[in-house]
Amino acid sequence: MHPPVPERTFSAPPARTAFGLSRVSEIPIYYGFVPIEAARVEREDRVEEKMALIRRYEEEKMDRMPQPVMLYRETRGKESDMLSAHLDLLGSYKSIAEAILIKTAIETLRATVAEPVTLYLNSLGDRDSFGRFTRELSAFYRKNIADMHAPCRQALKENVCSLLSCEHGVCVALRENAPKPISFLSDASRAHFKEVLEYLERLNLPYDIKEHLVGPAGICSHTIFEMRAENGEVLASGFRYNHLARRAGARREIPCLGATLFVRGRAGQARARSAAPRSPNIYFIQLGAEAKLRSLHIMELLRNAGLPVAQSIACEKLSTQIAHAESLKTPYFIIIGQKEALDDTALVRDRERSFQETLPVEKLAGFLKRLLK
């Protein structure tokens, strides 16, 4: 018998209004991202857009829901064939949150872009880590100011990090010897980034460290990444923005991270459809570090088999996951603990009849399909 369900209720997720979504949304929705309408901001500004999302998180008391809250929305820019797909996770400091976001973004691009995608990562660390880096970076460029071209001399006074993206010949040469954020990480920040990389390696997601990737000034922390096509075009970019909550008016720091995917052509064309996905009959429960490492791989196997699954992979507590499953009234559980992860097996349990069976992961999808007939 599974542990008793705690006396706890969950707030309803954000309203799933019926609005047109492109087929880009299908994979994020499968991984648990809830579609919402994009916030209206006065101008196209990434900071304003993120702060609007944080305010919604606070106003709708989403911190009472299982964390992280995973939200999906789409916007269109001035170019009619360009769709921006926004994925955000709010409420988790855990490195598994980065793994979920990057895995979802990669699989979405693989399904919509007919060319290889390269993942680049870096870590800016916490506020103190990044502060030490920017001080050293400023000192480096001031020392070499005579070698910089005029626009970058002016940029040095406004935003020193912008110099790292300058492609002028002199600045490219200087960048090679400039300080790197990863060299200034605190022990905790270094451990967090190491965990992110371990998840990616276990998920067989190749990556390159891009040592001078820093993102939008003043809002990024810890993990930052981008995904590029073979021709160098940016297909996606993402980062943590834990420190932005206070600027948005929150009384506390709220752990947040997000990514934006840039999709052109037919894949990004909107079609009228309900934003609500099929109700899952299966809830995925994981216990322990090794099980987390296996979770996203198993989720992908089930997605490819067309089996809707609910989950709270970033959640640490068994009781919280079970309570969430009970609130959704899913008839079946998949449970992966330390033993199952090491044995490459999964336990399937019937919630009402207390029936359960352990079987190899490779046979899991077929077994579930027969069970759900």
**Structural domains of the chain ordered from first start:** 23-125+186-268 (3.30.930.10), 127-182 (no CATH), 282-371 (3.40.50.800)
Burial of 61 (0-12, 13-18, 19+ CB in 10 A): exposed
Single-letter residue type at 165: S
State residue 361's pLDDT score: 95
First to last CA, the chain: 25
State residue 249's pLDDT score: 86
60's tokens: 């709708």
State residue 47's pLDDT score: 85
Strand pairing category for 332-336 and 356-360: unpaired
Backbone angles phi, psi at 121, to 5 degrees: -130, 160
How far is Cα 300 from Cα 295, in angstroms, rounded to an integer? 9
**Please, how many CA atoms are within 13 Å of residue 23, restricted to the half-sphere of its CB?**
10
**Scanning the structure block, which residue is given the tokens 């810890």?**
222
How far is Cα 287 from Cα 338, in angstroms, rounded to an integer? 7
Cβ 348 vs Cβ 333: under 8 Å = yes
Would you tell me how many other CB atoms lie within 10 Å of the CB of residue 201? 12
State residue 153's pLDDT score: 86
**Scanning the structure block, which residue is given the tokens 């923005």?**
241
Would you tell me how many other CB atoms lie within 10 Å of the CB of residue 259? 23
State residue 275's pLDDT score: 45
Burial of 38 (0-12, 13-18, 19+ CB in 10 A): middle
Q: What is the pLDDT along the chain (373 residues), one digit of tens a residue?
A: 333 333 333 344 444 444 578 889 999 998 889 999 876 655 567 788 899 999 999 999 999 888 889 999 998 876 667 899 999 999 999 999 999 999 999 999 999 887 899 999 999 999 999 999 999 999 999 999 988 888 888 888 888 998 898 888 888 899 999 999 999 999 999 999 999 999 999 889 999 999 999 988 778 999 999 999 999 999 999 999 998 998 888 888 999 999 999 998 766 665 535 444 567 899 999 998 889 888 888 988 999 999 989 888 878 788 888 888 888 889 999 999 999 999 999 999 998 887 899 999 999 999 999 999 8
CB contact set of 119 (below 8 Å; sequence gap of 6+):
102, 106, 200, 205, 206, 207, 208, 225, 226, 227
State residue 44's pLDDT score: 61
State residue 76's pLDDT score: 82
